[in-house]
Chain A
Amino acid sequence: MGGVRTWLAILVGALLAGALGAAAQEVPLIRLGHGFAAEEQLWLMVARPDLTPSQNKKYRLKFVQFQGNADRLQAYVAGELDGGTNPGITLIFAKAQGLDIKAVASLCLEAAGKEHFQTTYMVKEDGPVKTAADLRGGTVAVVAPKSATDLWARAGILRAGLVPDRDVKIVPMAFPAIGPAVRSDKVTMGTFVEPFYSSEKVKGGLRPIFNAVEAVGYDHELLDIWFSEKFLKTHGEAVRAFLADYVAATKYYVVNRDQAKRDLVAKGFVRTPVEVYVKTADWKREPNGRIDVDSLKKLAAFMLEKLSWLEKPVNVDELVDQSYLPK
């Protein structure tokens, strides 16, 4: 009789475990490709799951980190991602190539104002370059060809009346290498984002020439969150729940930036020393996650008309779908 009871207990246990496993399986998994900078509130969703009430109930998150922009989209085309983060201009390129993705939320913007950080282009303080017009014959380091940093560099050069590639060379270089390259005259001007900007400012000897907003002339989207159209159709509710949590995490981050940054360092998302990191300036973040669609349109027009990076106009309205954001 005891043997029968034991077998019955095992059977019930197995059925329960199976049922629980099946329930876990039913919660859709979001495979999200992300980068390594300026995505703080997104990382916070993993570092502080208490801020995201729907996580593991209405959706599960799997973060996959990438170094570059194009490789995230390559992974998506290979079927390894459901969504991700990318600069607005990369999404414009993707749309131009017919990729079935939608930008659903804003991560951060390049925006004017002392309260926000803007990607900054700096030269040696004691060098001959005092303004962008003095860059003729020089070299500018950006992080990758046809990246946002490349676009701003070209915009700043054009604004100064010079022609990129003809008057000023633009070379790709990893962010950590740019500071030493400017200081050793390997390049004339470099692109500085946080935390490299702050650490180079502390060292001194560099002077800003222009920033991303000054280069293009208006506030604009830097990074956005995107999803595949197919995933949005099949798992719309999961995306809505994810974005509701994302907006909650963003609002928390905007209000409690120092604590949030400390949490990110504690969880290993950021390796910059915490005291340096909390002091660094930050890009503008829209607490409601809304995308500045007009700025994307302006960027697309600039890419088409001034840079010839696009062969035909891109319909930005078709690229953006903000209906999944909380009302």
Chain B
Amino acid sequence: MTGDGWHAVSLSNGIEAGCSAGTRLFDKEIVLWRDTDGVAHAWEDRCPHRGMRLSFGFVRGTHIACLYHGWQYDAEGQCRFIPAHPELKVPGTIRVTTYLCRERLGMVWMCNSPATASAGPAVAERVVTPVRSIHADCPFNTAVSVLAGHGTVLDQGVGLLSIRAGELSLLIAAQHYGDARTALHVVIEGAHDSYGSTAQIAAATWAEQIRLELESQAAPAAEAIAHRRALR
């Protein structure tokens, strides 16, 4: 499968307890949600009942419920409750595809191969200060090569880079969102106490600049593709 292994898909603070949100990995729709015990989950973004996206749903305790008909799934992806049939013992076959999910470097990571059990992403844990996630309309490989011009690729496999931005040392994990879109998850190396909000604002502004740079790189390529298609 394309993109086996671990990928950062959000900052940890991008998924609050009791909340869900959608994302994509290699164009595959993923729901990220955090139960009220604080555990993050990454699943296929699809309710088995009617195919509704679970990222539209709502979290109650350690269950997530589909917005359409309220079918509730436990933390293992097993359907536990169907409101229209409250007495029914739900068959074990009604399950959502789940992915392994871990948190490192202030980010949520998921393993894009359900069968592969693994300890977690091969990145050393360190103390970080969250900045933001930012999406750029730019292919993943272009994004990583442009970012590499600003710093060092720490791990090509998980898309992790170390970048120097002025006084700040940033860690950035790149996410292959879709063919033409990359998400960057940006944190500052070091504790919040030693940086504070001024550094976070500076890093966020730097990320906005990088988005401009990535999209100006990607725009000519997108035009060239459109041009080639037009010639066909």
Q: Do the two chains belong together in a single complex?
A: no
Which residues of chain A have a CB within 8 Å of any CB of chain B? Answer: none
